[in-house]
Amino acid sequence: MSILIKNGRIITASDDYVADIYVEGEHIAAIGQSLDRAADEVIDAKGLLVFPGGIDPHVHLDMPFMGTYSSDDYETGTRAALHGGTTMVIDFILQTQGDSLYNALRTWQAKSQGKAVGDYSYHMAVTDFNESTKAELVDMVEKEGITSFKTFMAYKGALMIDDGQMVALMTEIERLGGMVTVHATNGDMIDRLIAKHRAEGKLSPLYHYLSQPEITEAEASGRFADMAYYTDVPAYIVHLTCEGALNHVRDASKRNQKVFVETCIQYLLLDASLYEKDFEGAKWVMSPPLRQKKDQETLWAGINQGLVQVVATDHCPFMWEQKNMGKDDFSKIPNGHPAIENRFELLYSEGVNKGRISLNTFAAVSSTNAAKIFGMYPRKGCIAVGSDADIVLFDPNETHTLSVDSHHMNVDYSAYEGWEVTGKVKTVLLRGQVAIDNGEVKVGPGYGQFIKRNKVSKVI
């Protein structure tokens, strides 16, 4: 199968030029002006932007969490991602405390194999670091191609590890050539605030927000950066939300330490005033919570300063009925919100279209940087000869409105209901196949492949 994409404006993290792309099999075979090649299919991309397929390195599909499961599975989640221009996701395997990493890996393989529509990889969340966990790490890196290891500094009793485990894990991961990633909030402080609010009868979603003040994230981010500095391990903070946390990363950069930072689309666009809507605020109950407008400004600036390299989603959807588990107690609302389908278009519309970031920066933070940080570049994250033909054809002028009525995520509300978006995903290629064409999906469950990843480094 071959496809010739004619006259598109190709945008990568570093380039911006008009050319043709010739795709043969799963890969990009040639790029050039007026390419004269016979092809099975010719796509006219005149007037369209041509981006590397989006990579969302923070999603939770079919994840057991807070007494229920996130409502998108590998089929619905990766299909919705494709509709929104995201060709690859990285999901999180959760080790069960007291059990092995390999058992957890097998559980996640059963969820994904034969079901995924788009490409995927896993981060391994180490929730119980001990001698037998330690012995499994080498095979995760060398045999399974899982080179990033997630840690939680919160959710005590389920996912959290303490600082002793953290330093021991970091030491081992550094030796093996992997990356340690973190949910950086101070779990003990948060648990104490939750208990205090509950004891005072303060039970609405607003108190979810008030139980996780900025300082809980800032403190943990600084502590994580210090432990990573001490152990010399490549380090990445997931879903960073606020000025206080980013200031610790800025400080770390002064000693020439690179701590990679991911923020999520919601922290750039939404703020904590949504928690004042009584129980409707449950739609945005997530951890960390939405912050202040000043934090949004800090994060946009952080992208342009090179301190924030990735914009992800932390996609973790729950049906409204599931959110209602916390109707009478905010601490029982399953944490997470849906965005896997919206990230790419929202980031273009609010970022590029509104002049906050450049086209090249858009390509970098929506795709290329994640590929580089997580050991997939240049197979993924770029438009170059030899790379996987993961390509998004994008109309920068078409406007549309986000709604639960038109989205493909398996969730019965939209966190962005009624948002007017400028720019639309028109055609998506995944490994050389047209996966989405004008809103229609062309590939099925099982097309998505597990992508083994390489070792990583402290710099990109």
Question: Strand 440-441 and strand 433-437: pairing?
Answer: antiparallel
Nearer to Zn ion, 11 or 240 (CB): 240
Supply the minimum distance, in Å, between the C-beta of residue 290 and Zn ion. 14
182 part of the interface to ligand URP, by CB under 6 A: no
| d(C-alpha 91, C-alpha 152), whole Å | 15
Nearer to Zn ion, 10 or 160 (CB): 160
Supply the minimum distance, in Å, between the C-beta of residue 152 and ligand URP. 7
Nearer to ligand URP, 8 or 336 (CB): 336
Q: Which of residues 310-369 bind Zn ion (CB under 5 A)?
A: 314
Residue 34 CB neighbour total at 10 angstroms: 8
When CB distances are held under 5 to 8 angstroms depending on the partner's kind, the choice from Zn ion, ligand URP, none that residue 336 binds is ligand URP
Binding mask 3-42 for Zn ion (x = CB under 5 A): ----------------------------------------
Nearer to Zn ion, 94 or 364 (CB): 94
Task: Pick from 9, 79, 183, 197 the residue near Zn ion by CB under 5 A.
Answer: 183
Supply the minimum distance, in Å, between the C-beta of residue 292 and ligand URP. 18
- Distances from the Cα of 90 to the Cαs of 100, 223, 338, in angstroms? 20, 25, 15
Classify each residue of 346-361 as buried b or exposed e, where b means 16 or more C-beta atoms within 10 Å of its C-beta.
bbbbbbbbeebbebbb
Q: Position of tokens 């666009």?
A: 269
Binding mask 331-360 for ligand URP (x = CB under 6 A): ----xx------------------------
Binding residues for Zn ion, how many (CB under 5 A)?
Answer: 2
Task: Pick from 9, 111, 183, 323 the residue near ligand URP by CB under 6 A.
Answer: 183
Nearer to ligand URP, 28 or 159 (CB): 159
Residues whose CB is less than 8 angstroms from the CB of residue 290 and which lie 6 or more positions away in sequence, other chains included = 209, 241, 266, 267, 270, 271, 272, 274, 275, 284
When CB distances are held under 5 to 8 angstroms depending on the partner's kind, the choice from Zn ion, ligand URP, none that residue 286 binds is ligand URP
Cis peptide before 378 (omega within 30 of 0): yes
Nearer to ligand URP, 269 or 316 (CB): 316
Q: Which of residues 37-96 bind ligand URP (CB under 6 A)?
A: 60
Supply the minimum distance, in Å, between the C-beta of residue 182 and ligand URP. 10
Task: Pick from 78, 211, 241, 287 the residue near ligand URP by CB under 6 A.
Answer: 287
Residue 1 CB neighbour total at 10 angstroms: 12
Q: Applying CB under 6 A, which residues contact ligand URP?
A: 60, 183, 286-287, 314, 316, 335-336
Q: Applying CB under 5 A, which residues contact Zn ion?
A: 183, 314
